[in-house]
Structure 1
């Protein structure tokens, strides 16, 4: 993990669950980094990491910014952020800047849906809508928002969907920003459906999101790292492959990767 950004285009590395290292434009960015052994406020055995991270935090290249989609423990990991440093630039969904400032972080930018910021020269990030919720305790549900992130640099578009149930907004994202060169789309934590449907999509819906947002390529995320719900850990990728076959989409366009695997993205 010591390699720097590629000279041309971007390199996307899956760090497990919804965590990614994005490298390009001379920058190293993290999205939803979780390096703790548990995605919970306490070390509950049921929420222990089942697949190790591909590296330690100190093996990462120097991180220029961290993008956070929402405040759930499997996406916003305070021990990881503290280790990266309180001066690390954080870009967050609307409503979380004050909370992070009270935790001691000094460089926090929050963006409402469809708002953009050029966080570095030539590198623009846009907050994209999703259908989810957020909370850290039983008493702060939806005090902040949630989002996905679109990154644009030198003609390349990368998109991290965040957490979401399936909803019509994905078609709007595709109409506004498509085609997208590389997407990161969740496929897991969906069972039982009576409870999880508004919050997490099934793999077949992820295929529809791939089409709605006009992704050229994508990788599956939010599966196989933590046991969050009732479906077997290996079920989401099998359903994804079957869903792609039914739609006539080549599996190489919407991929199931290994933790630590990287993909190069160029125009």
Structure 2
């Protein structure tokens, strides 16, 4: 449980109060048209020419034939792969610079200067599938357990695929941090409630929706008054209120947890701002779709592909919600491109997303944990360096990677 600190800390709990109705943030003129909604509430689509839809069973048959015919590539996961270090975290509500710790795949633990603690797309289990298949088991274990985290205030989920949303992980978070508040895209709230999360601790948002969040202290004993001060109806810690703005933003992906619920719930990227620091979490996303005829190993960025459309949402995010002090951007799970380009960014896509969204710095994610696709396990960071050089982005530390369990600090707007 998150404690308020001081002599009576054990008898208090910090919980999130989320604004209702919606807090309004800047957005494109056509955002209210909801082009990503299917009629009659039947689900969602990617409303851009940059996305090429697919039929799941047809893609599955093509991949199966690829593997049976020997065309598929086997990924070597024998050590050495991604280094794993034991993470360290700040105690309690200690402030400081914006700090991000990679916990594997798409999971980051972010410590904001305000004292806010946010966990993005946590999956701590061995297998990222509804059944325990060896094919979907980790080759890089988590660097710590959920119970090792000092506190979790907000949990932000990009979509409902099993490598981003895990029932056992959510239950463990509930047990360890019962006051944690969960944010997810439209259509996912009922899953959390059916999983035992109290309805008041789940907020689902549509693209471009935002919420104001304030952390408050729930008193359980009068002696806790020495840990906090109360002004009117507002509860304040000794360092002042911990407030945040959380927003759901577009990205190019799909959703499903079974064979019959494709795109019934929404997918999203996210922004979280607190204590003068602003973070963009891209979730899981593609940027542009390349043709089926794209040769093996071709990134799809030669002159012959220049006419292909790319997703316009990222430039809109940069224009209306940027700049961001830190972007957490996927760089892996992209081969073969004829299958994955619509849904998963390769490093060149990732650099374009970084530029479009106006992130000042970025860290890569969505690689080095599970074998989801066919690129070599250590290829994404190498390709990322090449893509940055091609884009003439050569400043040290602008967009890089960290070891699993490693933390990195960043300057934020409040420090400038």
TM over 0.5: yes
* 2:157 corresponding residue in structure 1: 68
The 5-angstrom pairing of residues 219-234 of structure 1 reads 219-234=363-378
Give the match for residue 79 of structure 2: none
Give how far 1:178 is off. Answer: 1.8
TM-score for the superposition, normalised by structure 2: 0.62
The aligned counterpart of 1:13 is: 101
Paired residues for 1:108-187 under 5 Å = 108-120=202-214, 121-166=242-287, 167-187=311-331
Residue 57 (structure 2) aligns with: none
**For the residues of structure 2 that align with 1:12 and 1:122, how far apart are their CA atoms?**
18
- Aligned partners of 2:116 and 2:274 also within 8 Å: no
Q: Tell me, yes or no, if structure 1 residue 195 matches structure 2 residue 289.
A: no
For structure 2, the residue ranges without an aligned partner over 5 or more in a row are 1-87, 215-241, 288-310
- Tell me which residue corresponds to 2:381: 237
CA displacement at 1:262 relative to structure 2: 1.0
Which residue does the alignment assign to 2:27? none
- For the 8 Å contact 1:183–1:219, the answer to whether it is kept is yes
Shift of 1:27: 2.2
The counterpart of 1:104, out of the listed 191, 196, 199, is 196
Q: CA deviation digits over 1:95-150, x for unaligned, max 9?
A: 10012211211111001101111122421111010010001010111111011110
Aligned-pair Cα RMSD in Å: 1.4
CA distance in 1, matches of 2:251, 2:94: 30
Q: Which secondary structure state, in structure 1, belongs to the residue aligned with residue 169 of structure 2?
A: helix
Q: Which runs of 4+ in 1 moved over 3 A?
A: none
For residue 257 of structure 1, what is the aligned residue in structure 2?
Answer: 402
1:209 aligned residue: 353
C-alpha displacement of 1:6: 4.1
**Alignment of 1:22 onto 2:114:** no
Report what 2:181 is aligned to.
Answer: 89
User: Which stretch shows the higher mean deviation, 185-194 or 98-107?
Assistant: 98-107
**Whole-angstrom distance in 2 between the partners of 1:259 and 1:172:** 31
Tell me which protein shows more strand as a share of its residues.
1
Are residues 178 and 207 of structure 1, via their aligned partners in 2, closer, same or farther at CA, if it must alter by over 3 Å?
Answer: same
